């Protein structure tokens, strides 16, 4: 069977020797030419895509911040490019390098950039803000970070008050599910000084699905706080996104409040086992990764 190129050469030769050839043959040759051009264009696009993906992989400095630290214990805190195991592309993160390893910052809320967290599902999915400042890394990125084959994840939450007090909550394991499972939260054993606000009595956020003002997954058909009834925990708490489980006792994405006006709000930067009615000065969420045993 002749290739497109062989048929084109044969038809072009025939056209020169038979100038009165049938128009149908000329149309067929034009069709074959257009077909070849289309194939070449598609091939070019594919090659460019492959090159781009290779470049992304080559630019990555590690699977995650912990992996970067494992490879070089002298690494300093700052912005790095990572590519978690199994991820299609690399992305930038802020790495906090400590004496015990590297930590990937996935959330920072401190009012310094005036960043608004009253966002829709699409924003929380891909992330928003300034990587070196106030930001939400993105649920897709959190999924990739916490679902690497052969690597286990843990969660460190760092909290601070306007009085200068600091506390932390550490979870021995941490996983964010895929979008098909609504980015379900899973946390392990707690230790620390700020309390386990994810799990307080009947308000258990461990196992909760992520909710935003435009996508309500909080399992709360008719919630009630005090004398107020509402259908959506997100809308009640300044339209922020979080793993609300019948609202619960934690929401680090609530509205940031200044020191002179940070008490008694329904929505705030809130960790109920540390400060009950007080909006925190800052919150930071870090993921640590290490090889599975």
Same domain, 24 and 132: no
Same domain, 43 and 84: no
Higher-pLDDT residue of 220 and 212 is 212
Query: 59-82: buried (b, 16+ CB within 10 Å) or exposed (e) per residue?
Result: ebbbbbbbbbbbeeeebeeeebeb
How many domains are contained in the chain?
2
Same domain, 41 and 93: no
- Give the Å distances, CA to CA, from 39 to 4, 10, 27, 45, 197: 11, 20, 18, 10, 57
What share of the chain has pLDDT > 90, as a percent? 64
Q: Taking residues 243-264, report their average pLDDT.
A: 90
Q: How far apart are CA 54 and CA 106, in angstroms?
A: 25
Residue 53 pLDDT > 50: no
Same domain, 45 and 128: no
Query: By residue range, what is the domain housing residue 180?
Result: 60-291
Higher-pLDDT residue of 25 and 118 is 118
Residue 276 is given by DSSP the state S
Domain finish residue from 15, 31, 58: 58
Higher-pLDDT residue of 16 and 75 is 75
Q: How far apart are CA 245 and CA 230, in angstroms?
A: 14
Same domain, 163 and 173: yes
Q: Taking residues 58-84, report their average pLDDT.
A: 95
pLDDT of residue 293: 76
pTM, 2 dp:
0.79
Closest CA to 176 of 191, 164, 186, 189: 186
pLDDT of residue 225: 59
Residue 235 belongs to a domain with what CATH number?
Answer: 3.90.215.10
Same domain, 130 and 255: yes
Same domain, 30 and 143: no
**Residue 164, helix vs strand vs coil:** coil
> pLDDT by residue (tens digit) across 105-133?
999 999 999 999 999 999 999 999 999 99
Check the CA dihedral 55-57-60-61 and report its sign.
negative
Same domain, 247 and 153: yes
**Residue 242, helix vs strand vs coil:** strand
Same domain, 41 and 177: no
Same domain, 259 and 169: yes
Same domain, 30 and 124: no
pLDDT band for 265, please (50, 70, 90 cuts): confident
Domain finish residue from 36, 58, 80: 58
Same domain, 65 and 39: no
Domain finish residue from 15, 40, 58: 58
Higher-pLDDT residue of 55 and 272 is 272
């Amino acid at each position: 069977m002749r290739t497109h190129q062989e048929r084109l050469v044969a038809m072009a030769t025939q056209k020169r020797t038979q100038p009165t050839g049938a128009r149908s043959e000329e149309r067929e040759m034009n069709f074959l030419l257009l077909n070849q051009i289309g194939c070449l264009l598609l091939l070019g696009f594919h090659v460019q895509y492959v090159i781009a993906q290779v470049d992304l992989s080559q630019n990555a400095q590690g699977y995650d911040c912990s992996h970067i630290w494992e490879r070089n214990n002298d690494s300093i805190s700052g912005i790095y490019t990572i590519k978690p195991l199994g991820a299609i592309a690399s992305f930038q993160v802020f790495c906090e390098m400590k004496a015990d390893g590297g930590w990937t910052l996935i959330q920072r809320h401190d009012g310094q950039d005036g960043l608004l967290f009253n966002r829709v599902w699409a924003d929380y999915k891909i992330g928003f803000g300034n990587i070196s400042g106030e930001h939400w890394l993105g649920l897709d990125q959190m999924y990739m970070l916490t679902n690497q084959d052969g690597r286990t994840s843990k969660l460190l939450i760092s909290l601070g008050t306007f009085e200068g007090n600091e506390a932390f909550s550490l979870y021995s394991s941490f996983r964010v599910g895929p979008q098909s499972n609504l980015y379900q939260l899973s946390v392990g054993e707690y230790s620390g000084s700020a309390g386990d606000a994810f799990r307080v009595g009947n308000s258990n956020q461990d196992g909760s699905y992520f909710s935003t003002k435009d996508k309500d997954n909080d399992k709360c058909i008719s919630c009630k706080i005090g004398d107020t009834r509402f259908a959506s925990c997100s809308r009640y708490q300044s339209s922020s996104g979080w793993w609300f489980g019948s609202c619960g006792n934690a929401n680090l994405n609530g509205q940031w409040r200044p020191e002179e006006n940070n008490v008694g709000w329904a929505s705030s930067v809130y960790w109920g086992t540390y400060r009950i009615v007080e909006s925190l000065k800052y919150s930071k969420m870090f993921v640590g990764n290490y090889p599975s045993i």
